Amino acid sequence: MVNINNNETNSKYGLEEEIHTDFRKEMSYASYLQLDKILSSQQRLSDHHDEMLFIIIHQASELWMKLILHEVNAAIQCILRNDLEPSFKMLSRVSRIQQQLIQSWSVLSTLTPAEYMEFRDKLGHASGFQSYQNRLIEFAFGNKNAHTLLVFQHDPEIYEKLKRALHEPSIYDAAIKALAARGLPIDQEVLDRDWSQTYQPNASVEEAWLTVYRNVDQYWDLYELAEKLVDIGSQQQLWRYNHMSTVERIIGHKKGTGGSSGVTYLKRALDQHFFPELWTLRTKL
């Protein structure tokens, strides 16, 4: 065993004396982040060079999605408690994370159709459609669809997690409750709606948001919340578009590995808007 003297070693190699170099009995950067697990998880199923890109892009995306869910779920709880201000920081962070996810498609687009076809068959029926975290994000934003849970029946733990999320209020449901808590009239059927259903536009909700936007000083916190929601809704649509565009660039209109219609399915998803009244009110202001 090498006998390490921190000060002598640092001086010898030109390091600052206070830099710690002996981690035999202490936690290191690698151990804190469990890099042994993370960096050993890129197991290619082919010998093709570019499969590494494909794996890392999707693994990194799942980590960013985990952080989005961490922030959005905390924001929902803040809003339900009528404690709006902490949610603003959380939602600002979400929109920045979404920018990272959007940018990742430009990296994946360096994968050419010929290169992808060299290992695509190794995926079997594995597909991004099966990303349960992406589905949880869609649920948290209000795009609920019980039929999508069928894809996750093979994993009871994930299936139950998705089922719970399906029946919980989305961040928009929480925002509408915040409108009602401030005395803005909201139809009771909206407040008592089945949260497992995709939200449908409502005239009383649009009128409430119009009141907020016409009286910004009086309802500054609700106005700020609305704009944070517009930010994350816009970014999610950009992510969807870049996803569709990248898939079209790499596989054209082939069917997805999971059995979907591929680009056609992704284009239909672009028609599913989040927080509808926050968009329609702009025409009426």
**Per-residue model confidence (pLDDT) at position 107:** 97
Range of the domain at 188: 49-282
How many whole angstroms separate alpha carbon 108 and alpha carbon 246?
Answer: 8
160-192: per-residue pLDDT in tens?
999 999 999 999 999 999 999 999 999 999 999
How many whole angstroms separate alpha carbon 153 and alpha carbon 231?
Answer: 33
Residues composing the chain: 285
Q: What is the mean pLDDT of the chain?
A: 93
226-252: per-residue pLDDT in tens?
999 999 999 999 999 999 999 999 989
Domain-embedded: residue 18: no
Q: Are 140 and 275 in contact (CB under 8 A)?
A: no
How many whole angstroms separate alpha carbon 72 and alpha carbon 106?
Answer: 25
**Per-residue model confidence (pLDDT) at position 4:** 55
Domain-embedded: residue 177: yes
Residue numbers in the known binding site for substrate are 54-58, 116, 120, 257
Residue numbers in the known binding site are 54-58, 116, 120, 243, 257
- Provide the domain count of the chain: 1
Domain-embedded: residue 41: no
**Per-residue model confidence (pLDDT) at position 222:** 98
Domain-embedded: residue 261: yes
Residue numbers in the known binding site for heme are 243
Domain-embedded: residue 217: yes
The domain that contains 241 carries what CATH number?
A: 1.20.58.480
Amino acid identity, position 236:
Q
Residue partners of 12: CB distance under 8 A and separation at least 6: none
> What pTM was computed for the model?
0.92
47-100: per-residue pLDDT in tens?
999 999 999 999 999 999 999 999 999 999 999 999 999 999 999 999 999 999
Domain-embedded: residue 14: no
Q: Are 219 and 212 in contact (CB under 8 A)?
A: yes
Q: Are 118 and 50 in contact (CB under 8 A)?
A: yes
Where b means 16+ CB within 10 Å and e means fewer, 93-109 reads bbbebbeebbebbeebe
Q: Are 172 and 229 in contact (CB under 8 A)?
A: yes
Domain-embedded: residue 222: yes
